[in-house]
A and B are shown apart, each in its own frame.
Chain A
Amino acid sequence: MASSTLIPNPVTNNTDRARDSAKRRKRKKIQRQSNGNGRDQNSQNLSISNDQITPWKSEVQQQVYSSKLLQALRQVRQSSGTGNPPTKSPRRGRAVHEAADRVLAVTAKGRTRWSRAILTNKLKLKFMKSNRRQRGMVATATGNSRLKKPRASILRLKTKNLPAVQRKTRVLGGLVPGCRKQSLPVVLEEATDYIPALEMQIRAMTALVNLLSGGSSSTSVTGAGHLGHLSFSRPPPNL
């Protein structure tokens, strides 16, 4: 992909180099994926051109995310591993969660509001204390995706201005990053992209946990397809 940075401000971070090398590896991986993966029909449509919208369900996307996540997790471990007492698990769990969210936002390529909000929030917390003024800097162009006719009819949204709907919109906006004070259609659109992204994140992290914990058989094997063939075909190392 031609665009190298999602954020105008340069990030003086180690993850930049990791991201670039991961991008190069991702390109090779996507081409290999398109040739050798017979299980996924989605990857054939969108393998080479990164300009098309990559659905979150595709194996390709999960591969991309998993490799980036591994690198980010290694850095989390390096930054907090040396000299820290082992009783810091709540904070490290939180660090892992934030790293996973950050990698998820990077994988989203900045096309959605929530991904940009995650990334700019990281910057804000690092360099600046106040975070109210910076919200306006985030670009607000979200291309309106294809709108088809609904398959299941829902009740007419005459109640758009009801306080109940408004209240639920605020709650939902609080859950999706970056949508705290957005209107209903914006919140709906962001949630429609955020939910498959979260599901993919869960699949990838589950696969990673299974891989690292010795490849023991678990229920969620479906997401462990690409990484799982390692743990199931080969005995795990001494753990």
Chain B
Amino acid sequence: MSTRRSRTRQSTTSRISDDQINDLVSKLQQLLPEIRNRRSDKVSASKVLQETCNYIRSLHREVDDLSERLSELLENTDSTQASIIRSLLSQ
């Protein structure tokens, strides 16, 4: 595979190189809106982890809010039925 330093690749134990972890951290960093907007070059891994936790928590909260709104909207049966059927048919 990659020509990094030779190491034994047991399946999921911790024989993964630092380079690979750095790759993963940088990929994750690209997903985070905070760090992406700040455009800073050097970000510590700990900061990336922290930002990831915060971001996932905020995403969960948003999904919670949306679920609440959806459940309230679903209680309105007749019009919901009509709009659902219409949207399914016209796709």
Contacts and interface: CB of A to CB of B under 8 A. Distances in A.
Contacts, number: 188
Interface bracket on B = 35 or more
Contacts of A201: 63
Contacts of B29: 152, 154
A202 interface: yes
A94 B48 CA distance: 30
A198 B66 CA distance: 12
**Interface bracket on A:** 35 or more
A148 B67 contact: no
B53 A172 contact: yes
B91 A29 contact: yes
Contact of A81 (B12, B48, B77, B83): B77
Interface of A: 29, 63, 67, 70, 73-74, 76-77, 81, 86, 89, 92-97, 100, 140, 147-160, 162, 164-165, 168-169, 171-172, 175-176, 183-186, 188-189, 191-192, 194-196, 198-199, 201-202, 205-206, 208-209, 211-213, 226-227, 230, 236-239
Interface string B74-87: 11110110111011
Contacts of A150: 22-23, 26-27
Contacts of A153: 41-42
Contacts of B6: none
A185 B66 contact: no
A89 B72 contact: yes
